[in-house]
């Protein structure tokens, strides 16, 4: 909450206009991509990259979570398959495992 409050105070105090201009390959006759000079408040210029970074980080995190879930599902299927294989190798009537379980 303190960081949010300090951020709001910073944005209220920094409303002066800043002019941004951007051109890719800025030559006289050839401007492939150009953003005309636009005055924007300073806090907007600071907030946009911040939100863009949060968005990119969030997308990367979601991608990583989906990969972990997929790996977990594959591992669980492998465990189930191996447990079925162990049961089939033990034969009927041998419900107890051949190794002692630890208690506690």
- Predicted confidence (pLDDT) per residue in 77-88, tens digit: 999 999 999 999
Determine, yes or no, domain membership for 4: no
- Residues spanned by the domain of 74: 14-87
Determine, yes or no, domain membership for 102: no
Determine, yes or no, domain membership for 31: yes
> Which regions of the chain are under pLDDT 70?
25-33, 92-104
Determine, yes or no, domain membership for 96: no
* Res 35: pLDDT: 72
DSSP the chain: -HHHHHHHHHHHH---EEEEEEEES--SS--SEEEEEEEEEHHHHHHHHHHHHHHHHHHHHHHHHHHHHHHHHHHHHHHHHHHHHHHHHH-TT--S-SSPPP--
% pLDDT > 90, the chain: 34
């Amino acid at each position: 909450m303190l960081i949010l409050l300090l951020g709001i105070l910073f944005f209220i105090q920094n409303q002066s206009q800043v002019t941004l201009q951007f051109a890719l390959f800025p030559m006289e006759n050839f401007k492939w991509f150009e953003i005309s000079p636009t005055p924007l408040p300073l806090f907007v210029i600071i907030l946009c990259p911040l939100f863009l970074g949060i968005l990119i980080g969030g997308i990367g995190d979601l991608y990583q979570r989906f990969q972990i879930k997929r790996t977990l599902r594959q591992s669980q299927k492998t465990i189930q398959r191996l447990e079925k294989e162990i049961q089939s190798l033990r034969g009927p009537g041998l419900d107890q495992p051949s190794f002692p379980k630890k208690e506690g």
